[in-house]
Amino acid sequence: MKQRLKGMLALCTALLLVLLGGCQGEGRAAFTQDCVLSLQAGSTTAVVSGTRTDGSQAAGETVSLAQPPLVEGETFWLPLEAVVAALGGTCQVEGDTATVRWLDQTVVYTIGAPGAQRNGTDWLPEDLPAFQDPAQTLPPEAVVPQVREGVWYLPLALAQPLLYGGTLWTQPTQDPAAGLVILGRELAADLTLGGFSLASRPQWEDLPADLTRGMTETGRQPSATGEPYDGVCWTGDGVACWVLQPQPGGPDWQEAGTLCGVELTTGDQATPRGLKVGDTLALAQLLYGPLVDLGHGIYQRAEPFGSAFHLCFQVQDQTITKIGLYNNLWGMEG
């Protein structure tokens, strides 16, 4: 009987380990700096997308934080140990000092001391271009870590030495009024939608055949800005592509044949951050930050990707009905 109970206990233990492995799985690998982490004040649920050190990808994956972020006035406070754990780093607290290790960054924070020490070098927010303007001088409490009820909290400005190793991390996106902050601004894949990348302004005829196979020309539309070119629409499998072409009888144009926009029209595919047609506008804001209402049910990410690429959402009753990514020569029609 004892042997049987031991066997059952061993089996249960093995199953528990399998289940825990399935829950944690890839989460054991740290995220690289090609990731974005969305946090909301008062919530212990965060959303992360991007690349892990083992090469695996996350798209809108939820992670649990031990403590929630806080917003006080215009200052966003990060629970240090919880955020570092979500990224896959480590945080060692000894007395008034916390040492964070993540990827090639080692950052030391001290309670009551402004700034931090990053990889052995002292750091202050004024060292970054965004804080060189005297008009943007930060109050003392915005550049020192604090301990609140046993939890280390960093003002958002102090997260920058930890994230400074990647240029896309130096200025987090934040919306204090909405209690939202996104660490990391862009993913390497953010200029890709439905398998089509707009990053290099590709020519339609040069795209791989396995991408365009089965797509058919379904319409033609003039430029909304009055420029002498049209957009030709190719559709297939819930994806629509817009390709620039000269207007009939018009002059040749150097951008002719350029893929200028990609749209998702069904929920069969997702953006690199995991957003699909059928999701809510609130989720789009959580994943992409502040949105601008362009009217006619169209919302656009407030900050363009790569300074020239726009992500737009067509919305009805707070539900996304179309997702579009465009270069500066095209856009979403209402």
The rounded percent of the chain whose pLDDT value lies above 90 is 62
Q: What is the pLDDT of residue 136?
A: 56
Q: What does the block give as tokens for 246? A: 């000269």
d(CA 179, CA 299): 20
Residues 6+ apart with CB under 8 A from 310: 300, 301, 304, 325, 326, 327, 328, 331
- Rounded to 5°, angle at Cα 213 from 210 and 218: 145
d(CA 64, CA 248): 56
Q: What is the pLDDT of residue 197?
A: 96
Q: What does the block give as tokens for 309? A: 């690429």
DSSP-derived letter for residue 319 is E
Q: 269 pLDDT exceeds 80?
A: yes
Q: 5 pLDDT exceeds 50?
A: no
Q: What is the pLDDT of residue 195?
A: 95
- Rounded to 5°, angle at Cα 233 from 230 and 236: 170
Q: What is the DSSP string of 55-123?
A: S-EEEEEEEE-SS--EEETTEEEEEHHHHHHHHT-EEEEETTEEEEEETTEEEEEETT-SSEEETTEEE
- Per-residue pLDDT tens digits for 111-146: 988 888 888 888 876 654 444 455 556 666 667 899
Residues 6+ apart with CB under 8 A from 20: none
**Cβ-contact 292, 299 below 8 angstroms:** yes
d(CA 309, CA 328): 6
Q: What is the pLDDT of residue 138?
A: 62
Residues 6+ apart with CB under 8 A from 24: none
229 confidence band (pLDDT: 50, 70, 90): confident
Q: What is the pLDDT of residue 58?
A: 96
223 confidence band (pLDDT: 50, 70, 90): confident
Q: 266 pLDDT exceeds 80?
A: yes
Q: What is the pLDDT of residue 51?
A: 94
- Per-residue pLDDT tens digits for 39-95: 999 999 999 999 999 999 999 999 999 999 999 888 899 999 999 999 999 999 999
What are phi and psi for residue 249, nearest 5 degrees? 80, -5
User: What three-state secondary structure class fits 11?
Assistant: helix
Q: What does the block give as tokens for 270? A: 């997702």
- Per-residue pLDDT tens digits for 291-328: 999 999 999 999 999 879 999 999 999 999 999 999 99
| Integer Rg of the chain from CA | 24
